[in-house]
Amino acid sequence: MTTYDHEQLAQLLAALPPAPMGLVAAAQELPRVRQSLDDLLVRAKEDAELRRLLVADLESALAESGIRPTPRILDEVRTRMRRL
Amino acid sequence: MDTRDPTSIGDAQLVTACRGGDEKAWNVLVERFSRYVYAICAQGFRLSPADAEDAFQDVFAKVYVQLDRLRDPEALRPWIAQLTRRVCLDRLRTGDRELPVEDVEPDGFDDQLETLDQALAVREALSGIGEMCSEMLDRFFARDESYRTIGEALDLPPGTIASRISRCLDKLKSALEDSAPLTRPVGR
């Protein structure tokens, strides 16, 4: 059994303020972003013109595919592009 | 997947649902652990806001990719805590990855993590005391809102907020006394 008084409860409730909203939303979008990335790279593997576009201007190509080109995403795509 | 509302299921079932590709379950997992992960980064490791944000994103990217490797789905919380710890340590070691943990980890980190574990258990107990109480306590203590702001948001006279908070704390205390420490009731 766990026993806390009001002061301890207040301190514990205050110990976990909300994480910044944008961060939570971005983390929740991970499955959709992953799927979009996978689809894009599958297409790039079969489409030389798309590969050229991705190499020439990766940020714009990702944005056009609905993927926000964060530094982390850009790094990952560049790494995966090298394996194509 | 489990057909119940993911917000009301335990960690093990949540892991199963996420592994099955249930996006709603993933949203719940992020919501359930977002404060915990951010607090470990910002309070436990005292990372700057920018570093804490980067670490937070790294942690959830790893959770998403590595969730299949979690051997015991009941151990989701300690697994996320460990992942977060490793991500924060890597961030603090930037430039000198050979530094031993004891030179990088802030003093008192284990105590801080224990406090955050308790805080997470208290947050979980909020779900058992009714939406109004849960929201009021969260707004007042975690979001640091004034009686006036809370009164306006919940359509309550500001003069009644203090006594309501006290009653809600009593309910929360009872809810915690009825539950085992640091566990979520199975099948809740």
Note the pLDDT of residue B4. Answer: 61
- Give pTM, 2 decimals: 0.86
Contact at 8 Å (CB) between B81 and B33?
no
What the block records as the tokens of B121 is 């258990």
* CATH 1.10.10 correct for B127-188: yes
Please report whether residue A2 resides in a domain. no
Note the pLDDT of residue B183. Answer: 43
Mutate one of A30, A33, A37 to test the B interface: name it (highest B CB count within 10 A).
A30
Note the pLDDT of residue B104. Answer: 81
More confident residue, B67 or A64: B67
* Lowest pLDDT segment from B43-57, B78-92, B121-135, B171-185: B171-185
Q: What is the ipTM of this complex?
A: 0.86
How many degrees, rounded to 5, is the angle at CA B15 between CA B79 and CA B117?
Answer: 40
Report the alpha-carbon distance of residue B55 to residue B88 in Å, rounded: 6
Note the pLDDT of residue B154. Answer: 95
Residues in chain A with CB shorter than 8 Å from the CB of B108 are none
> Band of the pLDDT at B95, cuts 50, 70, 90?
low
* CATH 1.50.10.10 correct for B1-108: no
More confident residue, B56 or A64: B56
Percent of chain A with pLDDT over 70: 98
Instruction: Round the average pLDDT of chain B to a whole number and report it.
Output: 90
* Lowest pLDDT segment from A26-35, B3-12, B28-37, B164-173: B3-12
Residue A51: alpha-carbon gap to chain centroid = 21
Residue A81 pLDDT > 90, yes or no?
no
Measured between alpha carbons, how far apart are the two ends of chain A, in Å? 56
Give the SS3 label for residue A45: helix
A21 touches chain B (CB under 8 A): no
Q: Select from A60, A52, A11, A82 the least CA-distant residue to B123.
A: A11
A29 touches chain B (CB under 8 A): no
Note the pLDDT of residue A1. Answer: 60
**Domain ranges, residue A45:** 28-84
Full DSSP string of B94-122: TT-TT--HHHHSPTTHHHHHHHHHHHHHH
Note the pLDDT of residue B98. Answer: 67
Note the pLDDT of residue A76. Answer: 86
**C-alpha dihedral over B129, B130, B132, B134, to 10 degrees?**
40
**What's the mean pLDDT in B61-78?**
95
**Domain boundaries defined on chain B:** 1-108, 127-188
B173 touches chain A (CB under 8 A): yes
Residue B184 pLDDT > 70, yes or no?
no
Percent of chain B with pLDDT over 90: 78
Report the alpha-carbon distance of residue B70 to residue B75 in Å, rounded: 8
Of A4, A13, A15, the CB nearest to B39: A15
Contact at 8 Å (CB) between B89 and B104?
yes
**What's the mean pLDDT in B77-94?**
93
Please report whether residue A67 resides in a domain. yes
Full DSSP string of B133-170: HHHHHIIIIIS---HHHHHHHHT--GGGHHHHHHHHHH
Query: Total domain count for chain A?
Result: 1
Q: According to DSSP H, which parts of A1-84 are helical? A: 6-14, 21-28, 30-46, 48-56, 58-64, 71-82
More confident residue, B142 or A51: B142
**What's the mean pLDDT in B77-93?**
94
Please report whether residue A23 resides in a domain. no
Per-residue pLDDT of A42-55, as tens digits, reads 999 999 999 999 99
Residue A33 pLDDT > 80, yes or no?
yes
**C-alpha dihedral over B77, B83, B87, B92, to 10 degrees?**
70
Residues in chain B with CB shorter than 8 Å from the CB of A21 are none
Percent of chain B with pLDDT over 70: 90
Residue B33 neighbours by CB distance under 10 Å? 24
What the block records as the tokens of B77 is 């919380």
Environment class of residue A7 by beta-carbon count within 10 Å: exposed (0-12), middle (13-18) or buried (19+)?
A: exposed
How far is B25 from chain A, CA to nearest CA, in Å?
Answer: 10
Please report whether residue A6 resides in a domain. no
More confident residue, B103 or B135: B135
More confident residue, B66 or B102: B66
